[in-house]
Structure 1
Amino acid sequence: MNTYIVSAICGCLFFVTGFSQDRNIGELLNEIEQNNIELKAYQSLIDGQKLQNKSGNNLPDPQLSGYYLPFGDHQTDDYTEFEISQSFEFPSVYAARNKWNNLKAEQLQAAYGEKRQEILLKAKKWLIDFFILQKRKTIEDERKKQSQEVYEQMQELFNREQVGILDLNKAKVAWIQEQFVVEQLEAEIQNQKTALQALNGNQPLGLDNLQLNIPFQIQTVADLWNEKLAKDPKILELKAYEAAAQQNVKLEKTKILPDLSLGYNYQGVNGNNYSGVYGGLTIPLWNSKNKVKAAEANYKYQQSNTQVVQQMLYAQLQQEYNQYQLLLEKYTEYQDTIETLNSEELLFKAYSLGEYSFLEYYMEVQFYRDATDRILQMEKQLQLLQAQLLIHQL
């Protein structure tokens, strides 16, 4: 009998833990990436553009033409002629354009990566907001409980005529304020859930057990910059533009070579017929004029643009890094000071023992509550700034 009871209890515990597993931010971002409607639509657009570029390297359609000339003043049989031909660019042009298409595909994929990064950064910041709101609600729930206890104590003291109506009303107002703060936070949490669900393709997103275990210490600026150079879609897109522009120079140079045509021709008149191979070429005198120079000018621009944008991105990284380090230093100092005091809990115990009047307690506790709120706000700022700094890791 005991064996069945133990088995049943274990089964219940397994069931509960299976549905209360902690969700980290990485898992949630992966889920959002899979379900986000905007990303799916953008990927379809990218795929279509790749196919469009690839179709530009197809051969022209074959051409079939024919003549049948029965009219006119002639003594011979009617004249008949038909011809089928296929024109194409010089073979090296197709190889060069194929390489250019591959580089354009990398460029488009980098653009998708940039869109993906934009959406996931938004999702990560919203998840940070949600996590901080949950922490605030936990704190405010405890404050609401304390305010209710204080009000109930004041009510008892008022009933015994040991305090006046003004002190009772102050305690009641403080309790009502805490109730309103909790209600506001509940509404904000629900709104944030709705916004995150929209990013997740309107699919439910398990957020009740969200854990945000993100270390505050990060790499040096040099390490971060090297990572960005290798991973950041903005930089990869710049490099893809530059490589595609360089390949376009080679492509335009190969287009200077003549286009070719091959085919079959048949002519028949007066019982006689002639047939054979048809061949032709175009002489590239006018169409390719200045196109190579234009491609070279565009390549030089892309090289310069890559350097300029990379310099701007590095300067931005340096500024954000300095701001982050300064905020982290102040946050650590602030947090260490407040945590060692544990003043809000001590003040409540002192008030419960009658060592403080309500007014004295409320003024003192408000100071420490403001400090706690400030720490939580600094934590949020640190997490958001770190998300921006490490955007290339998304």
Structure 2
Amino acid sequence: MKTYSIAFLFSCLVSFSVLAQSNLEQVLMGIEANNKTIQAQKQNFEARKLEFKADLPLYNPNFEYDYMDGSPSAAGNLTDIWINQSFDFPTAYGKRRELAKGLSSQADFALMATRQEILLEAKQSYLELVFRNKLQQQISNRKAATERLLRDFERKLTTGDGNILDVNKAKLQLIEINKDFQSNLAGINQLLQNLKSLNGGIELEVMASSYQEEELTTDFELLFEEFKAADPMWKYVEMENKTSKIRLEHMKAMALPKISTGYRYQSLLGQTFQGFRLGASIPLWENKYKVRQKEAEFSFASLQWTDYQNERYYELRQLYERYEKLSTTLQDYRNVLENISSIAYLDKALELGHISTIEYFLESNYFYTAYTNYLQTENDYYRVKAELLRFRL
């Protein structure tokens, strides 16, 4: 009976190839270029930026021309021309420009957050695909080994050296393995379809065979500072607090008198009159409650910003602690699995008759269950790490 090296299988499963790393980067680059949601949001936010700038220009100038025939004719004809331009209080224009700039920055951060969310989903699907592919390799090895056992039992049965019970046990074991094989294969296909959907319906060549290593500091506070400096949602909420304050200042400026200036020309009975006009509105009622409204909105935005900072800190902290625990568990698995060849020993023991067929399958299933748990722990480790480092996408 042939045996295979678990140590060799393990070394294949924990390798980190440059090819896989570049493949992940290529997948993310393709999805960023082809994803329909990202493309739609780019157009949407460009339109919003133009909307923010729409209030920056001055009011339209007003032109009026009146011509009236006099009666009787001796009364002469009256010509009246008005040109008028209205202005907000001067400080309003500075606040309006500042507000447009802030809202434009928010639109950029929102687009970056949308892009990041989609790329994180793609990366998590890719990492899940690595796990599924590794698991499929393990199941394939089990399948091949069990098929060899079944052929050996059937051969011994025909020569009178075996028994039908061993053949039936091997057949039942193979049925269970084939079920896992097909179920995992279906999972692989679903992940590939999800990546294709994220890629705008365009097929992707994905070689997800190993995980990509990324540097992660052992100091959480340093990681949090890096997160604050790069995370677009952090910047978006922070800017929302700032723009809320600018809105309040802008509304206070809008509550100041508006100014209008103009030119008037009048002609009657050969006499002409011309001159300039200056006026101002008195803001008694129009903005009575609007300033209070913006004050309440600013207070809400400030509380929301404080709450968001606190929430994100502890959310990231909990994720980092989970990452540390997974790192320890993963290393424990690796330390043990690198130094054992359980299946090879079981194959030899079965061949020599030291254990029964049922003992062989029970022990091998125990080992494969532990190995599957290792693969799942490894996948959880890299998925949590990807979540921690999402701000780098």
Fold in common (TM above 0.5): yes
Contact 2:127–2:208 at 8 Å: present in 1 too? no
Q: Return the alpha-carbon distance in structure 2 between the equivalents of residues 215 and 270 of structure 1.
A: 89
Contact 1:24–1:210 at 8 Å: present in 2 too? no
Deviation at 1:217, TM superposition (A): 5.9
Q: Secondary structure at the match of 2:49?
A: helix
Contact 2:211–2:382 at 8 Å: present in 1 too? no
2:211 is aligned to 212
Q: Return the alpha-carbon distance in structure 1 between the equivalents of residues 217 and 371 of structure 2.
A: 25
For residues 97-136 of structure 1, the aligned pairs below 5 Å read 97-136=96-135
Task: Identify which range, 288-297 or 61-70, moves more after superposition.
Answer: 288-297
Task: Identify which range, 272-281 or 131-140, moves more after superposition.
Answer: 272-281
For residues 350-369 of structure 1, the aligned pairs below 5 Å read 350-369=349-368
Change (3 A) 1:215 1:117: closer
The structure with higher relative contact order (CA 8 Å, sep 6+) is: 2
AA in 2 matched with 1:169: N
1:247 is aligned to 246
1:316 is aligned to 315
Q: Return the alpha-carbon distance in structure 2 between the equivalents of residues 109 and 250 of structure 1.
A: 23
Q: Secondary structure at the match of 1:340?
A: coil
Contact 2:80–2:267 at 8 Å: present in 1 too? yes
Task: Identify which range, 213-222 or 174-183, moves more after superposition.
Answer: 213-222
Deviation at 1:126, TM superposition (A): 0.7
AA in 1 matched with 2:58: L
Task: Identify which range, 112-121 or 21-30, moves more after superposition.
Answer: 21-30
For residues 89-100 of structure 1, the aligned pairs below 5 Å read 89-100=88-99
Change (3 A) 1:259 1:217: closer
1:75 is aligned to 74
Contact 1:248–1:295 at 8 Å: present in 2 too? yes
Q: Secondary structure at the match of 2:142?
A: helix
Change (3 A) 1:176 1:241: same
Q: Return the alpha-carbon distance in structure 1 between the equivalents of residues 116 and 30 of structure 2.
A: 14
AA in 1 matched with 2:392: Q
Q: Secondary structure at the match of 2:316?
A: helix
Aligned length, in residue pairs = 375
Q: Return the alpha-carbon distance in structure 2 between the equivalents of residues 209 and 229 of structure 1.
A: 31
In the superposition, the TM-score normalised over structure 1's length comes to 0.88
Change (3 A) 1:313 1:127: same
Change (3 A) 1:47 1:186: same
2:86 is aligned to 87
2:140 is aligned to 141
For residues 194-233 of structure 1, the aligned pairs below 5 Å read 194-208=193-207, 210-214=209-213, 218-233=217-232
Task: Identify which range, 52-61 or 328-337, moves more after superposition.
Answer: 328-337
Deviation at 1:72, TM superposition (A): 4.9
Q: Return the alpha-carbon distance in structure 1 between the equivalents of residues 287 and 175 of structure 2.
A: 80
Contact 1:197–1:204 at 8 Å: present in 2 too? yes
Q: Return the alpha-carbon distance in structure 1 between the equivalents of residues 156 and 126 of structure 2.
A: 45
Q: Which stretches of structure 1, 4 residues or longer, exceed 6 Å deviation after superposition?
A: none
Q: Mark the runs of 5 or more structure 2 residues left unpaired by the alignment.
A: 1-17
Q: Mark the runs of 5 or more structure 1 residues left unpaired by the alignment.
A: 1-19
Deviation at 1:215, TM superposition (A): 5.2
AA in 1 matched with 2:357: F
1:287 is aligned to 286
Contact 1:344–1:369 at 8 Å: present in 2 too? no
Q: Secondary structure at the match of 2:256?
A: coil
AA in 2 matched with 1:228: F
AA in 1 matched with 2:156: L
Q: Return the alpha-carbon distance in structure 2 between the equivalents of residues 215 and 57 of structure 1.
A: 45
1:15 is aligned to none
Q: Secondary structure at the match of 1:241?
A: helix
AA in 2 matched with 1:121: L
